[in-house]
C-alpha cells in the first residue's frame, strides 16, 4: 500500500544506488508515488538533454555555412572544392561570418543536409535495435550508456573546432555515431514511464511529461546561440557535458519498474486486475513475481499489434514535418527578411524556440483532449489537418512583421508537435500494453521503437529533401510539408472511423453504465 514491504534480495540488488542511499538516510522505504515522481523527473531531464544535444546542429548550421543564400546544390564531392582551394584558406582563423570548411564552400548546404540525413538514418535504424534490446536488458544501464555515448560524440564534433579539423568524413562519422547512441533514449524512457503509469490520464500525464522534447530544444537553442560568439565548438561541448552528467543521474536514481525495486502500488491504482483482464489475479506489471516470466515480444509480432502500423506510418509523415522545422527553422528565419530586415544567427536561434513553446502547449492539449474523448486517433488526425492551414499562413504572412511571425510560428508548433507528442508517448504506451498482449509488459520498448523508428525515417528524409528543395524555393518546401501533414492524417482514417463508430454506439446506449467502458477503441481495432 504505497510502501516497499517485503523486498526480495534480487529486487534490492536491482535498486539504483541513489535510491538505496536515500532509503538508508531516511531509514524507511520510498513510497510508490515518490518513485513515480522520481521516474517522471529523471526521465524528463534525461530526454531533454538528448534533444538539447541534438538541437545544437541546427543553430550552428548558419555559422558553418553563412553564405547559404547563393548556394546551389552541387553533386561534386566536397573534397574537390575544398582540397583544390589554396592552403592559406584552410587555416584556423574563424569568425561567425567566415564559415567553416568544408561547409563554407559552394556545396555547403548539401553537405550539411547529408550530415542531417546520416545522423537521422542511423538514428532510425538504431531505434529498431534499441527497442529490441531495451525489452531484454536493464533499461537503467542501457540508457546510461546511450547518454554517455551521446555526450562523448557530441563533444567530439565540437572538438573539430579546436583541432582545426576540416575533413567532412570526420564530421560524418561523428554524427553517425551520435545518431546510434541517441537512438537508445526514446524507447527506454517511454518503456520506463509506461511501466509506472496506467492508462488513466496517461495522455495528460505524458503530454505534460513530453514537454521535455521542446524544453530540450529550447535549452539547446539558447545554449548554442549564447556560446556561438566564443567559437562554435563550445556550442557542442557544453551540451555534450550536460547529457553526460544527466546520464550519471539516470544511473544513480532511475527505478526501471515497480518489480525491480519491490514497490507495491495502491489497490486503487488504474492498473488493478479488473481493468487489465479477467484472467489476471495481479497487476500485469508485477506478473513476474508469480514466477511466470513474460517473454519479450518479437519485432514481427509487435508490428501485428492492432494500431501499431497506422500510427507508425502517420508518425513517419508527422516527424518529417517536425524535424524539418527542428533542423532548418533557425536557418530559414535567418535567411528570410522579416519586415524587410534579416535577423542575426543568434536572434534567429532564439526566435525559433517559440515553435517549441507552441509544441509544449500542443502536446499537453492533445494529451488532455485525447483523455477526455478517449480517442487518440481522432485527436492526432485533427491536429495534423489543422497543421496544414497553420503552415500555409506561416509561410504566406510570417515575413510581414515580427509579431505575426511569432504568432504563426507558435500556432504551427502547437499543431505539428501536438500529434507527434501524443503518438510517441501515450499512444506508444497504450499499444505497448495492448489487450492482445494479455498483460505482457515486455513489448513497451519494442512497440515504442517501431513507432518512433518508423517516424525517424521520415525525420531523416524531411531535412534531406529540404536541403535540396530550399535552393529552388522555400514555398516548395512548405508545400511538401503541407502534403506530408495531409498524408499523416489520412493514415489514421480507419482508426478514426472506428472511434467515431464507438462514440455513436456509446451515445445510443446512454442508459447503460458508462463505468463498463474502460478501454480505448484502439484496443479493439
pLDDT of 202: 64
Length of the chain: 525
Q: How far apart are CA 43 and CA 38, in angstroms?
A: 8
pLDDT of 315: 92
In order, the DSSP letters of 133-154 are: HHTTS-HHHHHHHHHHHHHHHH
User: Where do the DSSP E strands lie in 242-304?
Assistant: none
Alpha carbon of 204 to those of 64, 209, 244, 422: distances in Å?
40, 8, 29, 9
**Residue 249 · residue 37 · CB < 8 Å:** no
> Is the bond into 107 cis (omega within 30 degrees of 0)?
no
Q: At 383, list the grid cell.
A: 491536429
Residues of the chain with pLDDT under 50: 1-12, 68-94, 267-293, 440, 514-518
pLDDT of 390: 95
Q: Is the dihedral of CA 256, 305, 426, 315 positive or negative?
A: positive
pLDDT of 248: 95
pLDDT of 62: 73
Q: At 296, list the grid cell.
A: 519479450
List pLDDT tens digits, range 206-218. Answer: 778 878 888 898 8
Q: At 171, list the grid cell.
A: 564530421
All structural domains of the chain: 14-66+102-264 (1.20.1250.20), 297-506 (1.20.1250.20)
In order, the DSSP letters of 19-53 are: HHHHHHHHTSPPPHHHHHHHHHHHHHHHHHHHHHH
132's CB contacts (< 8 A; 6+ apart) are 296, 299, 445, 446, 449
Longest Cα separation, the chain: 83
3-state DSSP assignment of residue 132: helix
pLDDT of 78: 35
List pLDDT tens digits, range 183-207. Answer: 999 888 888 888 887 666 666 777 7
Stated pTM of the model: 0.70
pLDDT of 432: 63
Amino acid at each position: 500500500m504505497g510502501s516497499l514491504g517485503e523486498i526480495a534480495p534480487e529486487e534490492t540488488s536491482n535498486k539504483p544506488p541513489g535510491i538505496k542511499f536515500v532509503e538508508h538516510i531516511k531509514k524507511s522505504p520510498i513510497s510508490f508515488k515518490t518513485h513515480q515522481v522520481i521516474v517522471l523527473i529523471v526521465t524528463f531531464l534525461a530526454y531533454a538533454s538528448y534533444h538539447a544535444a541534438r538541437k545544437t546542429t541546427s543553430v550552428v548550421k548558419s555559422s558553418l555555412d553563412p553564405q547559404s543564400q547563393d548556394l546551389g546544390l552541387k553533386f561534386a564531392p566536397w573534397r574537390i572544392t575544398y582540397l583544390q582551394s589554396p592552403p592559406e584558406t584552410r587555416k584556423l582563423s574563424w569568425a561567425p561570418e567566415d564559415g567553416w570548411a568544408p561547409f563554407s564552400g559552394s556545396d555547403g548546404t548539401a553537405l550539411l543536409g547529408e550530415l542531417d540525413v546520416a545522423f537521422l538514418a542511423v538514428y532510425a535504424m538504431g531505434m529498431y535495435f534499441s527497442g529490441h534490446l531495451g525489452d531484454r536488458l536493464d533499461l537503467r544501464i542501457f540508457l546510461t550508456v546511450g547518454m554517455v555515448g551521446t555526450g562523448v560524440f557530441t563533444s567530439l564534433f565540437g572538438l573539430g573546432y579546436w583541432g582545426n579539423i576540416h575533413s567532412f568524413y570526420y564530421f560524418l562519422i561523428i554524427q553517425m555515431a551520435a545518431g546510434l547512441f541517441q537512438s537508445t533514449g526514446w524507447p527506454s524512457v517511454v518503456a520506463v514511464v509506461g511501466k509506472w503509469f496506467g492508462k488513466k490520464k496517461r495522455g495528460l500525464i505524458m503530454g505534460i511529461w513530453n514537454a521535455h522534447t521542446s524544453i530540450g530544444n529550447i535549452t539547446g537553442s539558447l545554449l548554442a546561440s549564447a556560446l556561438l560568439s566564443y567559437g562554435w565548438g563550445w556550442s557542442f561541448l557544453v551540451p555534450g557535458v550536460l547529457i553526460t552528467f544527466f546520464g550519471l543521474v539516470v544511473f544513480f536514481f532511475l527505478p526501471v519498474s515497480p518489480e525491480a525495486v519491490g514497490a507495491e502500488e495502491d489497490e486503487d491504482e488504474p492498473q488493478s486486475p479488473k481493468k487489465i483482464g479477467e484472467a489476471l489475479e495481479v497487476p500485469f506489471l508485477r506478473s513476474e513475481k508469480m514466477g511466470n516470466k513474460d517473454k519479450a515480444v518479437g519485432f514481427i509480432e509487435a508490428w501485428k499489434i492492432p494500431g501499431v502500423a497506422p500510427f507508425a506510418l502517420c508518425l513517419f509523415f508527422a516527424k518529417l514535418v517536425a524535424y524539418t522545422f527542428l533542423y532548418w527553422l533557425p536557418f530559414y528565419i535567418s535567411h528570410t527578411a522579416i519586415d524587410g530586415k534579416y535577423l542575426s544567427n543568434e536572434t534567429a536561434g532564439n526566435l525559433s524556440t517559440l515553435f517549441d513553446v507552441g509544441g509544449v502547449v500542443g502536446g499537453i492539449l492533445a494529451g488532455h483532449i485525447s483523455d477526455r474523448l478517449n480517442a487518440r486517433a481522432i485527436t492526432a488526425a485533427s491536429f495534423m489537418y489543422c497543421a496544414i492551414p497553420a503552415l500555409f499562413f506561416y509561410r504566406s504572412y510570417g515575413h510581414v512583421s515580427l509579431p505575426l511571425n511569432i504568432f504563426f510560428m507558435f500556432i504551427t508548433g502547437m499543431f505539428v508537435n501536438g500529434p507527434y507528442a501524443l503518438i510517441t508517448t501515450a499512444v506508444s504506451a497504450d499499444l505497448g500494453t495492448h489487450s492482445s498482449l494479455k498483460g505482457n509488459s515486455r513489448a513497451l520498448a519494442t512497440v515504442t521503437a517501431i513507432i518512433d523508428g518508423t517516424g525517424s525515417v521520415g525525420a531523416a528524409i524531411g531535412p534531406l529533401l529540404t536541403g535540396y528543395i530550399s535552393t529552388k524555393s522555400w514555398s516548395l518546401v512548405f508545400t511538401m510539408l503541407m502534403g506530408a501533414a495531409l498524408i499523416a492524417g489520412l493514415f489514421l482514417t480507419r482508426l478514426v472511423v472506428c472511434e467515431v463508430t464507438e462514440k455513436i454506439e456509446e451515445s445510443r446506449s446512454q442508459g447503460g453504465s458508462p463505468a463498463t467502458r474502460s478501454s480505448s477503441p484502439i484496443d479493439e481495432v
